[in-house]
């Protein structure tokens, strides 16, 4: 089984990712948490944890051998530079140093062109900078840019394009499912795409991405 480090494991989407990984026969989740008081939640689920803070030194996250990383952390708009940008860049650099095989980034629709929106420009610019850092890192990666996140049920169907050219919502359950599926070695390598709720099964949508040769 591959060890998957999940940054932002204690967040709403992060917990869904952990649950999916725990049910997988291929992946073992390693929950990265920033505070001691977050550890018992995962211990009760028999999920291994590592204590590391994106605002400080992230090297303790790799004391357990890590195969792949999912970055699902977010500042909630409070520390966009410290967490969403610099924290992500720190984890990317540490991942490269530790030879991880794939880095899956939870980004955001609009991160390709922050100036085009009237709200959240600082957040989207931070996400853009983090995404660009990942693309230039030399790591294998998948960058997933969902629309507005909701707490709806798993729909298991999405609309996926490199650029959708329309706004939309998507449940955190569907986002988590998409992120976990991109961990597979033959899925969406060196790919960046947007997703919202749609009519195509997640597996079929990702299969289409995987057939497109990365630049």
Whether 141 is catalytic? no
Instruction: Please state at what angle helix 172-181 crosses helix 12-23, rounded to 10 degrees.
Output: 50
The DSSP result for 85-132, as a single string, is IHHHHHHHHHHHHTT-SEEEEE--TTTT-GGG-SS-HHHHHHHHHHHH
Beta bridge partners of 30: 5, 48
Instruction: Tell me which of 71, 103, 123, 141 is the catalytic residue.
Output: 123
- Distance, CA of 154 to CA of 148 (rounded, Å): 15
Catalytically active residues, by annotation: 123
């Amino acid at each position: 089984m591959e060890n998957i480090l999940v940054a932002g494991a204690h967040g709403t989407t992060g917990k869904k990712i952990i649950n999916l990984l725990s049910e997988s026969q291929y992946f073992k989740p390693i929950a990265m948490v920033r505070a001691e008081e977050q550890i018992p939640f995962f211990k009760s689920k028999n999920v291994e944890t590592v204590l590391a803070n994106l605002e400080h030194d992230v090297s303790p996250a790799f004391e357990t051998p890590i195969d792949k990383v999912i970055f699902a952390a977010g500042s909630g708009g409070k520390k966009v530079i410290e967490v969403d940008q610099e924290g992500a860049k720190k984890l990317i650099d540490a991942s490269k140093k530790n030879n991880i095989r794939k880095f899956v980034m939870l980004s955001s629709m609009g991160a390709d062109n922050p100036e085009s929106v009237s709200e959240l420009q600082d957040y989207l610019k931070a996400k853009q900078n983090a995404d660009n850092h990942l693309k230039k890192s030399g790591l294998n990666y998948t960058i997933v840019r969902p629309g507005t996140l909701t707490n709806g049920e798993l729909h298991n169907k999405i609309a996926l394009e490199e650029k959708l050219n329309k706004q939309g919502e998507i449940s955190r359950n569907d986002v988590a499912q998409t992120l976990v599926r991109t961990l597979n070695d033959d899925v969406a390598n060196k790919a960046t795409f947007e997703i919202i709720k749609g009519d195509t099964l997640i597996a079929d949508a990702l299969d289409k991405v995987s057939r497109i040769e990365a630049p």
